[in-house]
Each structure stands twice: as C-alpha cells, then as structure tokens.
Structure 1
C-alpha cells in the first residue's frame, strides 16, 4: 500500500523533491509506520521505482509474449508509447528517465536500479532482434546492440521532449520514424 500510494509522487517529484510529509500525507501513515516497513526513504524510493517500471513493462511484455514475429514484438514498444503516453505523462513521465536523471550524481542505490532496468530493456530488444535474425525475418547486417540502444534512446528522448514541451506529436512522429527504421530491418 505504501509503494502504490507513493510511486507516482516519487516519479513526479523525484527522490530529492519527495519529502517524508509527502509520504505520510499520501499514505495516511505516521513516520514510524512507514519506516517500520522500510529502512529509509531511499528504500521506499527504490521500491517505488520498481513499481512504476513494472507497471509499464508488464503491459508491454504481456503483449510481446502474444506475438511470434520479431517485427511485431518490436512494434509493441512503439504502439505502447503511442497509446499510453497520456497516462505516462499524468504519472510524471517515464520512471526510467526521471529516476536516471534524479539519481545520476547522488543516489547510487537508485542509479544501480535504473542501470539494471535499462540493461533488462536492452537485453529484451537484443533477444527479439537476434531471434528475428535467426528466423530469417530480419537482415543480419546490422549491429543489434547499437540498434537496441538507439531504440531505447529514441523512445526515452521522445518522451522527455514531448512531455517537457507539451507536444505529444514529437513522441508520435518519432515512433513513426522508429517504426520505419524497424521495417527497414526486414529480410527480403
């Protein structure tokens, strides 16, 4: 309950911008009740990040597991952000991006969690790409690792720009561009 009620607060305000009073107000619990369940604010923040990330990733992974072709699996990521960007924006934007920036130079525990998450996302995309190559769905003359990081960077950067500038069309147009890049990987 503590994590569910505080996850969006951490995502919107960041680790340093979230105060104990935010946690007690959101949960209706006293400080002792929160810290009776968690060692410190840092531990609550890590669990809130995991919750925010899992909320998004579970939706995507569930859809990916329903597809057989690599291209269709890759497009699941794009279609998710095309259709779910408003709830993502309302929740403070992307948990990975927000937490990465917030924790980059001062919170090693959170930063390590973000790094694990990015590597997991990268590993998922690489696995899809390699499977597509193996199944002769995708060309084998491109750098899978590089493409995966570019895809992640394009999605994350597009979310940041679209949310910050209040221009969802940036995200939508970049997802269209990324879709054309994915389609260019098709084997003839």
Structure 2
C-alpha cells in the first residue's frame, strides 16, 4: 500500500511532467491529491520541498527502468544499448508522445533558477553518460565500434540525440520522430544486428 506522502509525490510528478514545474500550482497539487493545505504542510515544508521529492522519485524510476533493468545487466553491450532505446521509445509511446521526458523537461525549466534540483538532474544525466560510455568502451574492445572514437563525447552525443528526438517528438506530437531518430542512433553507433 502506498502512503499518502508517496501518493502526493506521484500525483505531483504527473502534474509537473504535463504542466511543468512553474505552471504547477499548489492548488493543482491539492486538488489532484485530494488533500488540504494542512495535510500538504504535514508532509512538505514548501512546493520546493515537494519538487525535491518529485525529482528524487523521477530519478529513482529512471534509474530502475534504464540502469537497473538494462544498462547494469551483464549482457552484451549492443543488446543493452538497443534495449535502452526500445525502453525509451516504449515509455514515450505509453505517454502518447505528448509530455516528453520528465527529467529532460525539468532540466530545461529549472537550470537557471533551481540549483539544487538542477544538480540532482545533472547528476542523473552524468551517470547515464557513464553507463553508455561503458557500453561503448566494451564495443570498442570487441572491435564492434571504431576504436578512434572518443566514447565520452559519443555517450554525451547519444543522450543529446535521444533527448532532442523526444523534444521534437513532443513538439510534433508524433512518436515516429523518436522512432526515426533511434534508427539513426542504431546506425551511427553500429547497433544494428548483423
């Protein structure tokens, strides 16, 4: 059973994902969660405090879905990267290509004004880069990727392509954009099965 605090965090995460952090008002959170201000302040000191919990929740979900379930598994690097791309596409398909990447959206929105939240999101993206770089390093060792490539730069580029694809997909409201760009990633990084 989910606690009331966890339910509030979950409901707030949905609102922030669809409306953005700035546009999500405390009244929206109260209505969505079915609570009053007193109960809200029992669990959180402010909207900022709740936002911190939401960021932790979103990062925890992504770490579970992308890191634990895929990138940290002891399977072939090409398979890990393909499964990651498949999972990211499935997540956006489930969301009907409408709201984009929750952490990517937050990264754009909070980068200037919320340094604590920005640092948490940046830390997640850095860990993601490192896990992709590890897979690319393994592909180089197996001679399945050009050994002259700078895998640190290429891991950043892969994430930039993914997040850019999700942004374009969101803007066009068309999941095919993400599918097309993940196809380009698979070709560029030699991930297509032989």
Common fold by TM > 0.5: yes
Give the distance between the partners of 2:159 and 2:121, measured in 1 at CA. Answer: 13
* Count of residue pairs the alignment pairs up: 186
C-alpha distance after superposition, 1:11-40 (max 9, x if no partner): 111221111101111111121222222221
Tell me the SS of whatever aligns to 2:189: helix
Alignment correspondent of 2:56:
50
Alignment correspondent of 2:126:
119
Stretch moving more, 62-71 or 37-46: 62-71
Question: Is the CA contact (8 Å cut-off) linking 2:8 and 2:33 kept in structure 1?
Answer: yes
Question: Is the CA contact (8 Å cut-off) linking 1:8 and 1:52 kept in structure 2?
Answer: no
C-alpha distance after superposition, 1:90-149 (max 9, x if no partner): 672201211011102211122111111111111111122223334555442210011001
Give the distance between the partners of 1:91 and 1:32, measured in 2 at CA. Answer: 33
Stretch moving more, 146-155 or 31-40: 31-40
Tell me the SS of whatever aligns to 2:182: helix
Tell me the TM-score normalized by structure 2: 0.85
Closer, same or farther in 2 for the Cα pair 1:132/1:79, shift >3 Å? same
Question: Is the CA contact (8 Å cut-off) linking 1:74 and 1:125 kept in structure 2?
Answer: yes
C-alpha distance after superposition, 1:141-162 (max 9, x if no partner): 2100110011000000000101
How large is the Cα RMSD of the aligned pairs?
2.2
Tell me the SS of whatever aligns to 1:152: helix
Question: Is the CA contact (8 Å cut-off) linking 1:69 and 1:137 kept in structure 2?
Answer: no
Gapped regions of structure 2 (runs ≥ 5): 1-6
Stretch moving more, 56-65 or 99-108: 56-65
Of Structure 1 and Structure 2, the greater helix share is in 1
- Correspondent of 1:178 among 174, 185, 191: 185
Give the distance between the partners of 2:98 and 2:8, measured in 1 at CA. Answer: 16
Tell me the SS of whatever aligns to 2:86: helix
Give the distance between the partners of 2:60 and 2:94, measured in 1 at CA. Answer: 15
Give the distance between the partners of 2:152 and 2:95, measured in 1 at CA. Answer: 27
Give the distance between the partners of 1:90 and 1:177, measured in 2 at CA. Answer: 19
Stretch moving more, 26-35 or 59-68: 59-68
